[in-house]
Amino acid sequence: MNSPRLPIRMADSVPRGFTRYYVLYLISQKPMTGNDIIQAAKQDSQLRWKPSPGLIYPLLGRLVAQGLAEEVDGKFQASEEGKRKLAQYLSFQRDMLERLSVFETLAEKITAASFLIADEVGSNVLEATKRAPGHELYTSLGATIKGIRKTYRDLLKKELQRVEKELGEENPGS
């Protein structure tokens, strides 16, 4: 049985500072009332977040006081300064996402390298056991492990190539 999605408290659903830029974004698109903003938030969050009038109206008042928004005929719209501030924020967000992407790619490559190193160490251990007394017992086991490692290594290489190709498609100028 599916339970209906109930609005949850803002503190549990959105990061600190999000509402300010979300509202600024909305009113940069078109003039809106506080109620329009609340309805847009409900719709955008698929009813999981319903900011209260006690959050939205004081925020709109602060945006107006800071020169980031203007009230015209009962509706709020972003001022030129508000649009500039929003553009700076969005630029910062894009920059952070690009930086995180670099770290994600680096982490994937480090992981792939660690598997290759582990594979090499495993090969060295198998070679050492071949020289140990009773090595005949390990010969068939070693062949099986080598086959599994090769299959796994090929899978990792193929996956790494796929990820690198996807990253290249996402960032063609990189």
Question: What CATH number belongs to 10-78?
Answer: 1.10.10.10
User: Taking all residues of the chain, what is their mean pLDDT, rounded to a whole number?
Assistant: 81
Give per-residue pLDDT as tens, 19-53: 999 999 999 999 999 999 999 999 988 888 889 99
Give per-residue pLDDT as tens, 57-71: 999 999 999 999 999
CA distance 11 to 149: 48
| Residue 171: predicted pLDDT | 64
Contacts for 77 with CB less than 8 Å, ≥ 6 apart: 27, 28, 30, 31, 32, 69, 70
Higher pLDDT, 146 or 171: 146
Confidence class of residue 7 from pLDDT cuts 50, 70 and 90? very low
Q: How far is CA 155 from CA 116, 152, 163, in A?
A: 12, 5, 12
Domain limits, the chain: 10-78, 96-170
